[in-house]
């Protein structure tokens, strides 16, 4: 009887057999988007939402025998790393399979030379989130750090979304990012997750936090007492999407259709509803930006993805040794 029950369990857990578009994504659940795509095209979608770390482990472990067709990340560094190791399909500029879209100037400047990925949403590497009841910091990095009673950061070791913030501070913060971090080491509070940092902001345990812009706006959406300021200078942190080089021609066409849908006006509107990219700026001119967001700053720095991706380990190691401990 036990063996029969186990066999029945196995049958119940067996995945459905029909051909589907398989997406590995860090963007959070996207039910509205994938349901609308399926309703419009008839193409079933298998959407697997993973954290950055397990997603990376799965992508590299699958290697030349991938189960995914589309990979979708926050940040270009992981995409650049996949491209460097031959795990992303590259496209010629006139490749008909690779969708084009009415990109903004900023989005078009983010396109890699080998067209291995496309931006689907624009975010910023850093935003200042002031605690409830605390005065909003100015836009200057130096002023914000020097005047803050207790700045808060996410740990880049346990939170994959924290490294872009660290890279932004180190690369563009005025007054040298390392000096700012070392100078505020005694006051700095490091949190392993955004939920704990959120609690600290609400209770006033930290006076302001530095987070990726999408996370910052998400926290403000959940507690209107928080305020968000965009520092100057800042870096651009796009959400990017790419295709497996081992995808069959049929799957590549399905992937291209999905990407075209994401970059369309209805797709961008749905993207703005329920994914982690909800609070970013559209990369295309035919989509309406979220009215609750400020105007996208003009003067943004685009960090070379390959360079800063390769330096991640070194920079996090420095942060742990010199700032945390």
Partner 1 sequence: MSKALKSTAALLVVLLLTVPLARFLLLPFFPAFGPAHSPPPGDPDPLAPALVGSALLAFGSAALATPLALWLGLLLEQRQWRGNGMLTALLWLIFLMPGYLVVSGWEVLLAQLTSGVGVALRHALLGWPGFVALNALKGLPPAILACRAGWASLEPILVDSARLHVHRRASRWLLNARTMLPFASVSFVIVFVESMQDFGLAATLGGQLGMPLLVAEVYRGIAAWPVSWPRAARAADLLVLLSAVAILLRVWLGTETRAPVLIRSSAQRRARPSSRERCFAAAAMAAVALLGVIVPLTGFAADVLTVQETANLQETGVWQLPQGSWRALCASLLYGASGAFLALLLACALLAIGSRSRAGRIAMLVPMANMAVPGVVLGAAWVITFGAPPLVLTGTPFAMLLASAVSQLPVLLLLLGNVLASRHSALGDAARVNNVGLLDRLELIHLPPLLRPLAWGWSLAFVRIFFDLPLAMLLAPAGGEPVGVLILQLQHGLHFGPMAFLGLVSLALCGSVVTLVCASIRVLTRSMA
Among 222, 285, 288, 304, binds partner 1 (CB under 8 A): 222
- The angle subtended at Cα 307 by Cα 91 and Cα 189, nearest 5°, is 125
* DSSP helix/strand/coil, 66: coil
Among 1, 15, 42, 105, binds partner 1 (CB under 8 A): 15
Among 90, 139, 178, 202, binds partner 1 (CB under 8 A): 202
CB of 223 to partner 1, least distance (A): 5
Alpha carbon distance 232, 139 (integer Å):
6
Distances (CA, A) of 164 to 155, 227, 304: 11, 21, 12
Among 109, 174, 179, 203, binds partner 1 (CB under 8 A): 203
Residue 243 touching partner 1 (CB under 8 A): no
Neighbour count for residue 206 (Cβ, 10 Å):
25
List, in order, residues 6 or more apart from 284 with CB less than 8 Å away: 101, 102, 103, 104, 107, 263, 265, 268
DSSP 97: T
CB of 167 to partner 1, least distance (A): 11
Instruction: Report the residue number, 104 or 218, with the smaller CB distance to partner 1.
Output: 218
Q: Which of residues 110-169 bind partner 1 (CB under 8 A)?
A: 155, 157-158, 160, 163
How are the residues of the chain apportioned to helix, strand and coil, as percentages rounded to the nearest 5?
Answer: 45, 20, 40
Among 106, 219, 236, 243, binds partner 1 (CB under 8 A): 219
Instruction: Report the residue number, 109 or 158, with the smaller CB distance to partner 1.
Output: 158
CB of 266 to partner 1, least distance (A): 15
Residue 56 touching partner 1 (CB under 8 A): yes
């Amino acid at each position: 009887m036990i063996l029969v029950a186990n066999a029945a369990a196995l049958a119940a857990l067996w995945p459905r057999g029909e051909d589907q578009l398989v997406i590995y994504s860090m963007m959070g659940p996207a039910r509205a988007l994938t349901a609308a795509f399926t309703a419009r095209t008839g193409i079933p979608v298998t959407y697997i939402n993973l954290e950055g770390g397990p997603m990376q482990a799965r992508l590299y472990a699958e290697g030349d025998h991938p189960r995914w067709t589309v990979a979708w990340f926050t940040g270009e560094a992981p995409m650049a790393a996949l491209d460097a190791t031959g795990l992303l399909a590259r496209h010629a500029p006139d490749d008909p399979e690779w969708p084009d879209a009415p990109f903004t100037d900023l989005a078009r400047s983010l396109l890699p030379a080998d067209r291995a990925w496309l931006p689907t949403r624009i975010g910023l590497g850093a935003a200042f989130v002031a605690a409830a009841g605390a005065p909003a910091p100015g836009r200057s990095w130096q002023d914000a750090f020097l005047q803050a009673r207790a700045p808060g950061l996410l740990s880049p070791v346990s939170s994959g979304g924290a490294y872009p913030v660290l890279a932004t501070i180190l690369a563009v913060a005025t007054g040298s990012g390392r000096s700012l971090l070392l100078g505020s080491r005694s006051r700095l509070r490091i949190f392993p997750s955004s939920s704990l940092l959120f609690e600290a902001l609400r209770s006033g345990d930290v006076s302001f936090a530095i987070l990726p812009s999408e996370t910052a706006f998400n926290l403000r959406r959940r507690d209107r007492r928080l305020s968000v300021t965009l520092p100057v200078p800042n870096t651009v942190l796009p959400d990017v999407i790419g295709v497996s080089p081992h995808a069959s021609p049929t799957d590549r066409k399905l992937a291209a259709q999905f990407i075209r849908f994401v970059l369309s006006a209805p797709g961008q509107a749905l993207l703005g509803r329920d994914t982690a990219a909800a609070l970013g700026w559209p990369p295309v001119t035919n989509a309406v930006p979220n009215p609750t967001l400020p105007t996208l700053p003009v003067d943004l720095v685009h960090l070379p993805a390959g360079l800063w991706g390769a330096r991640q380990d070194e920079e996090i190691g420095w942060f742990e040794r010199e700032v945390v401990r």
